[in-house]
Amino acid sequence: MKLAGFFENNSELIVNKALELGFSACGISEANHLSGDAAFMEEWLSNGYQGDMSYLDRNKEKRYNPQLLVENAWSVVSVLYNYFPEEQMQTENNYKISKYAYGTDYHIVIKEKLQELFRFTKDLFPDLTGRVFTDSAPVLDRAWAQKSGLGFIGKNTCLIHPRKGSFHFIGHLIISIPLSINSIPVTDYCGTCRRCLDACPTGALVAPHKLDARKCISYLTIENKEAFSQHFEFNDWIFGCDICQDVCPWNRFSEPHSEPRFRLSDEIKNMRKTDWESITEESFNRIFKNSALKRTKYSGLKRNIEAAGKSPVKADEKTSI
């Protein structure tokens, strides 16, 4: 009982420390094999929905089994970090980028905070081994966040916290200590709602909870490195897309983040279509030096701007690539 109390008390300390660091939620789950999620992903991959994201086919067993990522893994500490902005980009005479890319690249911010949480945990358990994960290794982020009681997977495939919405980054510590499990499964509250499916201009949500990345604006403008083989309804999006989250009723609970590094810079805020269209590679490298937009590179951004500036195809003309 004393040992159980020790782990329970320290688990609470870890959760409280995560909240102190600015994470909006923290949950703990047991580091076991994700058999159900593995079956779902294998079917998804077999349908070719990953497009050119070949890395999703590699190290698949590591995605399903945390023991292959961290030796003697016992616990997964999952966290959410809010990125919903207080001020959004103007849409009139402007192109659009996903809210997550308004400020500093989230990998930099979240990794820094997770490393601090790991150091805190290491002080509690000096013999602990483990790793920090923030969209940087073969980890099923949403599956672990769901298992840790931080939300449910919506029909738009996003993790939705029933009191905080879906505009959150996800991160994890996978560690060798058997912490007290504090997660309570969250019910899927999507019900009969299909706003996300109906709002997607390219039909990427081919069924509830099922995304064909090859049609997704986020995939097309970021992960896809090739020229577009057809016209899509980009609706002025040139990096990522928030449509399926913007229309989600659960995001009425979204509150502005308090992370200064995620704020929209004055330079980006003041840009309009002509500024985006005339941007030079030198300006791109300067403005987006520490931004997630660097992922698409200058050539990719110019390609996206050109595609977004074209007239969209009609709904009955949509085809898959």
- Shared domain check, 147 and 112: yes
Residues 23-28 have a mean pLDDT of 97
- Shared domain check, 158 and 20: yes
- Shared domain check, 165 and 70: yes
pTM of the model: 0.92
- Shared domain check, 26 and 152: yes
Residues 217-241 have a mean pLDDT of 91
294's CB contacts (< 8 A; 6+ apart) are 105, 288
Give me the pLDDT at residue 231, please: 78
- Shared domain check, 157 and 30: yes
User: CA-CA distance, 69 to 71, in Å (whole number)?
Assistant: 7
Q: Is the residue at 118 inside a domain? A: yes
User: CA-CA distance, 258 to 172, in Å (whole number)?
Assistant: 21
CB 25 within 8 A of CB 88: no
pLDDT of residue 5 exceeding 80: no
- Shared domain check, 136 and 13: yes
- Shared domain check, 78 and 48: yes
Place of tokens 């840790």: 148
- Shared domain check, 171 and 201: no
Residue 73's pLDDT band (boundaries 50, 70, 90)?
very high
Could you confirm whether 57 is annotated as catalytic?
Answer: no
- Shared domain check, 116 and 160: yes
End of a domain among 175, 210, 232? 175
Residue 232's pLDDT band (boundaries 50, 70, 90)?
confident
Length of the chain (residues): 321
Q: Alpha helices of the chain — where are they, by DSSP H? A: 2-20, 35-46, 60-64, 106-124, 141-147, 195-199, 217-218, 243-246, 266-269, 273-277, 281-287, 297-308
Query: Each residue of 172-228: pLDDT tens digit?
Result: 999 999 998 877 889 999 999 999 999 999 999 999 999 999 999 999 999 999 888
User: CA-CA distance, 271 to 274, in Å (whole number)?
Assistant: 8
Give me the pLDDT at residue 136, please: 80
Q: Is the residue at 188 inside a domain? A: no
pLDDT of residue 143 exceeding 90: yes
Query: Each residue of 260-314: pLDDT tens digit?
Result: 999 999 999 999 999 999 999 999 999 999 999 999 999 999 999 999 987 454 4
- Shared domain check, 199 and 171: no
Number of domains in the chain: 2
- Shared domain check, 65 and 151: yes
Give me the pLDDT at residue 316, please: 38
End of a domain among 142, 175, 208? 175
Question: Which range of residues forms the domain containing residue 302?
Answer: 195-256+263-317
- Shared domain check, 169 and 199: no
User: CA-CA distance, 254 to 267, in Å (whole number)?
Assistant: 25
Q: What percent of the chain has pLDDT over 90?
A: 87
Catalytic residue among 127, 135, 141, 236: 135
User: CA-CA distance, 83 to 102, in Å (whole number)?
Assistant: 9
Mean pLDDT, the chain, whole residue set: 92
Residue 7's pLDDT band (boundaries 50, 70, 90)?
low
